[in-house]
Chains A and B, each alone.
Chain A
Amino acid sequence: MSVRIRSDDLWVRTAIDLSNVDLSSVAWGLGVDNGYKLYANGTFIGIGNAEFYTHRSEYSGDFDGVLTQGVNTFAVALEDHGGATAFDMEITGVVNVTPPVVEASVDTDTL
């Protein structure tokens, strides 16, 4: 008897600068054939596993306060059960949340 190690699993990661982003607004959505484990800055965020076909919004959620201003690392462990494979992910959020500085002055010397 033998054990054959499956080679069709995939691991992906990326680093994104979230400076100037409202962290409370950041959300994620992904699609995978067949399963995933999502991490943000090393913290486990979510897991899912399903047969049949996928689409880009198959799974979604937020990051529950684990994000920080600056560079954040997102990592996903992916698995396939044979046949078709697929993965894509999107992260959304509100940018440019810092209100513009408006300066208005009155010359009181002229009053």
Chain B
Amino acid sequence: MQSQTSHPPHNKLRGFKPTIAVLAMLSLAILLLASQEQNANAATSAILPAGHTWEYTFTDPTGDSSWTTTSGTGTGGWTTGLAPFGNGGPGTLLDPGTNWPVGTSDVIVPIDSTKDIRGATPPGVFSVALPAGTYELTVAAGAWNAWDADNDLNNGVLASATGCPGNPDGSGCATGWLTTYAVRSAAGTQALEGNGTFETSAQALAAVSGRYSRHPADSGNS
């Protein structure tokens, strides 16, 4: 009897064993399902999708390095626009959401109206000090005195010519006009090279007019 009286708890436990096993299996099943769901959620997705809204500016903000760590519009030319940015030109990402025009500004900074590169080494190469940025350097109004590095210039007037004697208009000279210079600059003094030589100033100006100058490394389409 005692053994019997002591049996009920065992009997009760025995009676609930299947329930515990079922609960354990259900819990395991739930965990497995949750794990599968988690795996399904683990798929890579676009956190910042194409066509996102960006803050943008055409005014160089790099003078203050905090432009890479802050956000906000209203100052520094910052405003918001939808990507893609572009001008819809051939080969660009289609249907730009925000216009990214090309062109040069009207900001023209005189460097030296009569830069004389006679004696430059190597010939046709000289240096100017520039802050960091991208520049187009061009001859102003064709009044470039370095028509020929071998020529003797007197206040910009050709006094004698050793490279093309007898041709004061420059035709037939070996070096020709040095017309357009370009550099994508780091801060400091940069060496600039002419990217074209022409027999006459008219040819030089015609070649410069209406086109961007390019660094020699940038040759080709863009």
Instruction: Write the residues of chain A forming the contact surface with B, with a CB cutoff of 8 angstroms.
Output: 1-16, 18, 21-22, 25-27, 31, 33-34, 39, 41-42, 51-56, 73-75, 77-97, 99-100, 102, 104, 106, 110-111
Contacts and interface: CB of A to CB of B under 8 A. Distances in A.
Q: How large is the interface on B (under 10, 10 to 19, 20 to 34, 35 or more residues)?
A: 35 or more
A7 B57 CA distance: 11
Given A9-B134, A94-B44, A110-B16, 9 more contacts: A1-B137, A3-B130, A4-B137, A6-B105, A7-B58, A31-B93, A87-B83, A93-B47, A95-B45
Contacts of A2: 108-111, 137-138, 140
B87 to A, nearest CB: 5
Interface string B141-185: 000100000000000000000000000000000000000000010
Contacts of B16: 110-111
Contacts of A31: 93
A84 B47 contact: no
B18 interface: no
Contact of B100 (A56, A86, A100): A86
Given A52-B220, A80-B102, A86 B70 contact: no
Nearest to B94: A86
B85 A3 contact: no
A13 B54 contact: yes
B187 interface: no
Contacts of B69: 41-42, 73, 75
Interface of B: 12-13, 16, 20, 23, 26-27, 30-31, 34-35, 37-38, 41-58, 60-62, 65-71, 83-87, 89-93, 96, 100-105, 107-115, 128, 130, 133-140, 144, 184, 212, 214, 218, 220-222
Given A33-B222, A75-B67, A4 B136 contact: yes
Contact of B45 (A77, A92, A99): A92
A79 to B, nearest CB: 6
Contacts of B43: 94
A81 B211 CA distance: 11
Contacts of A56: 50, 93
B47 A18 contact: yes
